[in-house]
Amino acid sequence: MKGKQSQNKDKTTQPPRKAVIYARYSSAGQREESIEGQLRDCYQFAKQNNLNVIGEYIDRALSGRSDKRPDFLRMIKDSERGHFEVVITWKLDRFTRSRYDSAMYKARLKKNGVQLLFAKEEIPEGPMGIVIESFMEGFAEYYSANLSENVKRGFYDSALDLKTLGQTVIGYKKGADGRFAIDEGQAAVVRRIFEEYAAGERAKDIYARLNAEGHRTSRGGLFNKNSIRRILQNEKYIGVYEYEDIRDENGIPPIVDRVLFARVQDMVEKNHASPNQKVQTFLLTGKIKCGHCGEDMTGDGGTSRTGKTYSYYTCNKRKYNKTCDKERAPKEWIENLVIEKLVDLLNEDGFIERIADEALEYMEERRDTTILDALEARKKDNEKAIKNVMDAIEQGIITPTTKSRLVELESDKVKIEKGIAKEKINNPHLDRDQLRFFLERYRDADMGEEKHRERLLRTFLNSVFIYDTDDDDPDDPKKGKLVLCMNYTDEHGKLSKITLSIMEKAVFDGVSGGSSFEPFVVFGALR
């Protein structure tokens, strides 16, 4: 207790850091008031942690599964200007429910010197925090996918009946039967686009004339090269209805004939033909370090006389000022070796069991069931009220009031059950087997897929130190070494940044120096 009191005292002596709040609610059964609750908790959190809130970013009725949220993107952009040092959000799922977006945007905030804090979720700094946060991101993503499953099921049933599913497509409108019907005014514009493009007109000239004449897209915007191309490649215009595995070649009234459509497809393919170049991704960026000087090694590349391209990780001191003699490490070789050794570690006896035990202990200590308990109590009251109304109906008391009351209670029941399901996902009660299941997914994942490789590295790996094999001293114990420093710890506390000197003391001298990481040492030979 003394240590904690002292820590709080130190906070108050420091000048308050500038912070902003990000709040969001989706349209799935949530209300505007939920924003006010998030803001209230965030302001209270700021007051308790010596933070000065200078602004708010709020997205209303927008899903966290997508990053297409205006205020969210504005906040990320503003973080580059250095106006604030901290972003406070209510819980992790308010920031995003996508693990990919979570990793990407947290990295951008960190690069801009901005810390992300959660008002109602205590995620520790250091290695255990990384593992816990990985769990929470996984549950948020699962909840979001599960919540949308019922919507998808309804869409699928409607698609079997060839309904529009709310889609807006220029040239079509929703008919009285819920299916696509031709909008003759817009259909003329669609035919014109196809005919002019087939006659050799440039897309640029086509959309310039349409905009000048006052024509607009189905969403009311100006035409551009992308909207023209989408129209030219949309099979709906030849009558094809498609949704997931449902495809009906004659499910929509056609606007253009198939001969014209086929000719246009050949022209689009020819006009837009370009090499399929894949963006090079260096998975170890920010993690791989030079064992000779301790500097970061970053992605680099070159081309041989024969035209073959090569990709490497190069020490920054060698790259920029030639003050390090560390050889470059071939990208594919070093990434594959690190992944291979991490997978070997995951398969070691006791490793997953240990992580699961530590994570379970931590999460149970901080689990807050206040909201869930309140929802469960509301559920019992709701069930009792429904039973009373049903009893009255069975006794013949059937009035407009009883019918209205039953509809109201049934509607509340759905909302309460959704709230309970969401709270269980956001604040899960996990047992050891469930945690082991989440960890064992890394064992079974296909490490040939980049998304699994990136997730494995992000969750478990802190840093990699690499030494050359051709050192002058053949007896050097560091020769040919690859040292992987993991994102997990024992009872020693949180993990701070691992430097070359800290790592070498722990690995080669057997001295921890106060650091609380466990190195995993393997031998490799550079090519």
Predicted local distance difference test score (pLDDT) of residue 64: 46
Q: Nearest to residue 158, comparing CAs of 178, 143, 141?
A: 178
Architecture of the domain defined by 2-121: 3-Layer(aba) Sandwich (3.40)
pLDDT of residue 54: 94
Q: How far is Cα 425 from Cα 141, in angstroms, rounded to an integer? A: 10
Amino acid at 392: A
Least confident of 31-45, 319-333, 372-386: 31-45
- Region 328-342 average pLDDT: 90
Across the chain, mean pLDDT equals 78
Domain 169-271: top CATH class: alpha beta
Where is pLDDT greater, at 183 or 146? 183
* pLDDT interval class at 141 (50, 70, 90): low
Q: What pLDDT does 238 receive?
A: 93
Please indicate whether residue 490 or residue 187 has the higher confidence score (pLDDT): 187
- Across 173-182, 397-406, 474-483, the highest mean pLDDT is recorded for 173-182
Give percent above pLDDT 90 in the chain.
Answer: 21
| pLDDT at residue 92, as a whole number | 73
Is residue 370 pLDDT above 60, yes or no? yes
pLDDT for 102 beyond 70? no
Name the residue with higher pLDDT: 374 or 320: 374
Over residues 58-69, the mean pLDDT reads 65
Percent above pLDDT 70 for the chain: 76
Amino acid identity of residue 407, one-letter, is V
pLDDT, average across residues 269-283: 65
Q: Quick one: average pLDDT of 356-369?
A: 72
209, amino acid identity: R
Query: Between 32 and 135, where is the model more confident?
Result: 135
User: What's this model's pTM, rounded to 2 decimal places?
Assistant: 0.42
For the segment 446-454, the average pLDDT, to the nearest whole number, is 83
Say which DSSP state 81 is in: G
Most trustworthy range by pLDDT among 76-85, 90-99, 272-281: 76-85
Residue 81 has pLDDT above 80, yes or no: yes
The answer, yes or no, to whether residue 44 has pLDDT greater than 90, is: yes
301-305, 339-343, 360-364, 495-499: least confidently modelled range: 495-499
Nearest to 171 by CA among 110, 130, 217, 230: 217
* pLDDT at residue 12 greater than cutoff 60: no
Percent helix / strand / coil, the chain, rounded to 5: 50, 15, 35
* pLDDT score of 290 more than 50: yes
For residue 23, what are its two tokens? Answer: 């709040």
8 Å CB contact between 45 and 117: yes
- Average confidence (pLDDT) over 331-346: 88
What is the model's pLDDT at position 382?
A: 92
Q: What is the pLDDT of residues 196-244, one digit of tens each?
A: 998 888 899 999 999 998 899 888 889 998 999 999 999 999 999 988 7
Question: Interhelix angle for 331-346 vs 432-444, to 10°?
Answer: 150
Q: Say what the pLDDT of residue 417 is.
A: 85
Q: Is the pLDDT of residue 515 over 50?
A: no
Q: Please report the pLDDT score of residue 454 as a whole number.
A: 85
Neighbours of 510 (CB within 10 A): 7
Specify whether the CB–CB gap between 322 and 293 falls below 8 A.
Answer: no
More confident of the two residues 287 and 490: 287
Of 181-190, 423-432, 454-463, the range with the lowest mean pLDDT is 423-432
> pLDDT at position 517, please?
37
Q: How much is the average pLDDT of 150-158?
A: 65
pLDDT top residue among 6 and 18: 18
Going by pLDDT thresholds of 50, 70 and 90, the confidence category of residue 458 is confident
pLDDT of residue 31: 46
| Confidence band for 106, pLDDT divided at 50, 70 and 90 | confident
Helices (H), 427-483: 432-444, 450-460
Number of helices and strands (H, E) in the chain? 18, 15
Nearest to 91 by CA among 150, 143, 149: 143
Spatial distance between the Cα atoms of 418 and 428, rounded to a whole number of angstroms: 15
Q: How would you class 86 by CB atoms within 10 Å of its CB: exposed for 0-12, middle for 13-18, buried for 19 or more?
A: buried
Residue 514, pLDDT above cutoff 50: no
pLDDT at residue 20 greater than cutoff 90: yes
Tell me, what's the pLDDT at 29?
43
Binned at pLDDT 50, 70 and 90, residue 322 comes out as confident
> Is 50 exceeded by the pLDDT of residue 491?
no
pLDDT for the residue 28: 44
pLDDT of amino acid 478: 76
